[in-house]
Structure 1
């Protein structure tokens, strides 16, 4: 290395060492805006901060970052007057972006109004941000409080690469066009493009367009968009309300009440007269009015309108409802769209009610299918059927405690619940039911006692508090068609489960030896026994099968209901009604009964959703009347079993 190159290398090293200390590139435009408006940055006002925010946003990315920090209350002022952005322990200069170690800035705390203005201004840049989450948040912000500026930003923005976000952006642009566009034809086209839409956002946009206010005038007001003319005295406008409207518009004086008139006249009696009217004549209402007017003319009382004057003023004016929206073509389009939306809304509410009824019917069917076997086929009144549902739910709870994976625990819980309740049903049959054959009253009392015992046993084991039976993640949420029609995923799963069990039951009864033997024993036990069939064994298996299905129903019901010792009691009455109304001993009748009760419950409940007890009362009353006319149910059993 020569002596000539050493100074050059030393200078280069010194330059490289100085690079980190050099200030970051400063945004001169932002620096100028900040310097000129420091007072307003420190103490902003919602009414005047708008132009400043626009100037800062126009300076580029640094200005947008400053606004974001300001809105998030992460902006501060240093002791030497610099604007700093604070991110945890990192403090940077808002203008240069250079770090400011050791700074202790005074944090700025803009109020919610100022922050709202800042956030609105930021949206215009955020809808084109590379981050989809930021773009989505910007659209949500516009949806909450969109303005004409947002409409311009949405119109000017490039297409979003995400189809879902682009669809949301298009809808927002249409809604903002209806609200803020200056061209009536464009607004009408936007309204018509969403005609019949039942979305809450669209209905919320239409409502302000069709809002009205009442006015009084002697002739139809020029330039007003009149919705209708009102007649004082009708339901829409009483005569008192009409006069109050005149008074509010400054057209009429305050009304003189009878009490106020009497007190005023009594206070101004002089020499046996009031206002030149003898006291003896004041029994006449017209004389009292003249006396008051005389006092009013001399300034002795406050001017007020007598009853006759008030009625005359009402009759001298015409009353109108006028739209807040001045353009009649826009309100006509909005009215047509609202009517179309209301028609579709009514139809969709009917569909939603039908889905709710179908969901409830599937729950009742699933709860009653086991009872249809034991009560319908065997003729055994099992009051402990609800407790088998409860046992199934608790079995699911225990399995879920042993297996953390929700899906796997549900898969294990279904056969486990069937096994537990099948064994319990067989035990109940062997220990109680078989000894009380052909004695329905004793069977009812015995199973009722078993029901109470099982409830108490559940309380002793699991306590009185409700136990959680959590559904897997894929069963959470709901299937939503629109803002009106939706059904929870669990209800859909229960419907599918009910259909599967219907198919399984039909397969067992029609295609298996067990089903053939069950039908034989049901129709003629003696003949079945002579053919080598053991009626006692078939009855035991049938009772166990019905109990096992009740256990599976308990797991399904426990996914959306509280698992307590009283869980079964909530469904035992509906289960019996389902079987009896549908037709004893007929699985298709059970299905029809569940459908009828589900529909009735939801229809009656729709008239008074807050009073479910009244809905149940009316439903039971209807069923009592129904049974009077069809005592054998919707689909009665036929053949020898019906004659037995």
Structure 2
């Protein structure tokens, strides 16, 4: 019975081989191609497999794509007896299901022992993946083509250049065509053998800010310092005076073109070797206790031929005059390298301009934050002359109001829309309460006002800690404020900061409208300019002070919502802005909205400028900024725009 089973298996194998021989004849182009490279395919060595992969990729056969994909997935097998290549999947531990490489049709089942599996290692799979990209570049699916471009960008190969160029004429998607064209120029710079093509591609990137461009150009300008009797062809002469100290002579030593310096150890060994009756070159050993004495003795030995001559300054100068020093480009012909250097110089200029623009955007963004934080203080301090040290806590109250609203309204966009008027209402009420209970009794007493509001500040911080705890609370921005507006690889600004800038402009407009177009604004201006005359005209200064203080506090609450969108919301967050708010108001001019705007711009620009020079130490930047402002107010004690009226008299 066992013998019969073996005979059946043998017959099945023989019939399978016969079927393979007929179904996969030499006439099948893909099988012929595989047989041509059969030896290196079976060996599967990363060092030798390249020609086989290239032949499949460049064959133009539809079956080649399938072969590469299934080979990468370890589905490619070869029959041990016939040497024919097949696709196979494991049916069980001993049996394979065989498929034809030409068309993929199922052939049948066979013993696993009759076939050898081709198992590409990670290096070969990477090479296969690079070859597959060439097929994907011309795929009818745009996403597949985009994926192929991403793969090339991550691991470019010389073979990709030809495939990219061939796919350009067939690309119909405008965005993908732009990506392909850019990538084709980058690969031309790296892999093209035509210097004219490389130079043309390089010149096309002049001023381009892409990091990928700099990554492609930087290797081309790598140089190596050399020296010789004559200046080699394609080398650039270097002036010795422009080289760092000792670099030129050390180069001559390394190339054995000049004698080395005599080291201290060499000098000591030579002196010891030439001791005779307690003397060296006629000098008592006991007298060689200084460097000058040892050098003199060594020089005598050198003159006598008993030691290597010491290299003098005159020898060094003569050696430097005897040779040509030059730089050679190590990774590119000189014409290509010079074109790359010119392009990099243009890029550096463009980077510098864009860095200045990015710094200006950061300064404007920071200025808008300071303006929002200071506008309420400008109202209370300018109109009422009250030094409100609790102003930062009103900012904190506004941020916590936004947090509470988001707990109730989970929609972030709607919650922010609700939080802005809610924060104004809460902090307006708190400001009115503070004015009625504390401030009204301390008018014209600035020191007492400062101390009282400082105490209120501490009390409000502790109250916030008792209610919300000491951990930072999230105030989440809507999804449409996520991310940044990326202008190029250098200039970018977050959407939250853009929103804060727009909010600052809106409140500037609101303030101007209230002050210039409403009865409240008219009465506030009257009280600011001449409180006695305003009182005689029927205006209640006490009521105006209360509303003004509440209005300023309400604006601080709105500023808290805006600031809380990107800063941590804690009980101490107000202290981060109180100093900058006072500096903004004082520099701009107390009580003047345009002065506050200019002050915010000046403080924000100054801080960003100092941080640019010293980016690792923001505390130092704030210190320098405070010192500058102290120096500034020595010359303009009333700020950029001085206020006339009660505040000026105070």
TM-score by length of 1: 0.83
- Secondary structure at 1:214 match in 2: strand
Q: Please tell me whether residue 225 in structure 1 is matched to residue 225 in structure 2.
A: no
Q: Please tell me whether residue 236 in structure 1 is matched to residue 243 in structure 2.
A: yes
Change in 2 beyond 3 A, CA 1:313/1:483? same
| Separation (CA, whole Å) in 2 of partners of 1:579 and 1:278 | 83
Give the one of 290, 301, 316 matched to 1:288.
Answer: 301
Q: How does 1:401-420 map to 2 (within 5 A)?
A: 401-420=407-426
Task: Give deviations 1:396-430, integer Å, cap 9, x for gaps.
Answer: 11222222222112111111111111111112112
Task: Give deviations 1:450-469, integer Å, cap 9, x for gaps.
Answer: 11111111112222121222
Query: Is the 1:230–1:237 Cα contact (8 Å) retained in structure 2?
Result: no
- Secondary structure at 1:124 match in 2: helix
Q: Which residue of 2 aligns with 1:616?
A: 622
Q: Which residue of 2 aligns with 1:193?
A: 204
Query: Is the 2:384–2:647 Cα contact (8 Å) retained in structure 1?
Result: no
Q: Which residue of 1 aligns with 2:156?
A: 146
Displacement of 1:313 after TM fit? 5.2
Q: Which residue of 1 aligns with 2:184?
A: 173
| Separation (CA, whole Å) in 2 of partners of 1:374 and 1:142 | 61
Q: Please tell me whether residue 638 in structure 1 is matched to residue 638 in structure 2.
A: no
Q: Please tell me whether residue 64 in structure 1 is matched to residue 65 in structure 2.
A: yes
Query: Is the 1:255–1:310 Cα contact (8 Å) retained in structure 2?
Result: no
- Secondary structure at 1:307 match in 2: coil
Q: Which residue of 1 aligns with 2:344?
A: 338
| Separation (CA, whole Å) in 2 of partners of 1:449 and 1:494 | 30
Query: Is the 2:221–2:337 Cα contact (8 Å) retained in structure 1?
Result: yes
Query: Is the 1:256–1:306 Cα contact (8 Å) retained in structure 2?
Result: yes
| Separation (CA, whole Å) in 2 of partners of 1:133 and 1:292 | 80
Displacement of 1:533 after TM fit? 2.5
Q: How does 1:351-362 map to 2 (within 5 A)?
A: 351-362=357-368
Displacement of 1:565 after TM fit? 1.1
Query: Is the 1:374–1:380 Cα contact (8 Å) retained in structure 2?
Result: yes
Q: Which residue of 2 aligns with 1:4?
A: none
- Secondary structure at 1:128 match in 2: coil
Query: Is the 2:303–2:309 Cα contact (8 Å) retained in structure 1?
Result: no
| Separation (CA, whole Å) in 2 of partners of 1:68 and 1:291 | 79
Q: Which residue of 1 aligns with 2:532?
A: 526
| Separation (CA, whole Å) in 2 of partners of 1:259 and 1:98 | 80
Displacement of 1:235 after TM fit? 5.3
Give the one of 425, 431, 440 matched to 2:431.
Answer: 425
Query: Is the 2:220–2:332 Cα contact (8 Å) retained in structure 1?
Result: no
Q: Which residue of 1 aligns with 2:171?
A: 160
Q: Which residue of 2 aligns with 1:133?
A: 143
Q: How does 1:489-500 map to 2 (within 5 A)?
A: 489-500=495-506
Displacement of 1:477 after TM fit? 1.2
Change in 2 beyond 3 A, CA 1:35/1:337? closer
Q: Please tell me whether residue 503 in structure 1 is matched to residue 516 in structure 2.
A: no
Q: How does 1:24-423 map to 2 (within 5 A)?
A: 28-31=28-31, 44-58=44-58, 60-68=61-69, 74-75=73-74, 95=101, 97=104, 108=119, 110-111=121-122, 113-157=123-167, 158-221=169-232, 223-226=233-236, 228-231=237-240, 234=241, 236-239=243-246, 241-249=247-255, 251=257, 256-263=262-269, 266-267=272-273, 284-289=297-302, 307=311, 314-324=320-330, 327-423=333-429
Q: Which stretches in structure 1 are left out of the alignment for 5+ residues?
A: 1-21, 295-303
Displacement of 1:248 after TM fit? 4.2
| Separation (CA, whole Å) in 2 of partners of 1:125 and 1:106 | 25
Task: Give deviations 1:488-513, integer Å, cap 9, x for gaps.
Answer: 11111111100000000000000011
Query: Is the 1:229–1:321 Cα contact (8 Å) retained in structure 2?
Result: yes
Change in 2 beyond 3 A, CA 1:272/1:637? closer
Change in 2 beyond 3 A, CA 1:312/1:521? closer
Task: Give deviations 1:551-572, integer Å, cap 9, x for gaps.
Answer: 1111111111111111110000
Residue range with higher mean Cα deviation, 136-145 or 469-478:
136-145
Q: Which stretches in structure 2 are left out of the alignment for 5+ residues?
A: 1-18, 81-85, 91-95, 286-293
Q: Which residue of 1 aligns with 2:462?
A: 456
Query: Is the 2:67–2:76 Cα contact (8 Å) retained in structure 1?
Result: no
Displacement of 1:131 after TM fit? 2.8
Displacement of 1:162 after TM fit? 2.0
Q: Which residue of 1 aligns with 2:609?
A: 603
| Separation (CA, whole Å) in 2 of partners of 1:547 and 1:33 | 82
Displacement of 1:355 after TM fit? 0.9
TM-score by length of 2: 0.83
Residue range with higher mean Cα deviation, 444-453 or 38-47:
38-47
Query: Is the 1:75–1:85 Cα contact (8 Å) retained in structure 2?
Result: no
Query: Is the 2:370–2:604 Cα contact (8 Å) retained in structure 1?
Result: yes
Displacement of 1:258 after TM fit? 3.9
Displacement of 1:156 after TM fit? 1.0
| Separation (CA, whole Å) in 2 of partners of 1:77 and 1:603 | 63
Displacement of 1:544 after TM fit? 1.2
Q: How does 1:464-479 map to 2 (within 5 A)?
A: 464-479=470-485
| Separation (CA, whole Å) in 1 of partners of 2:309 and 2:184 | 52
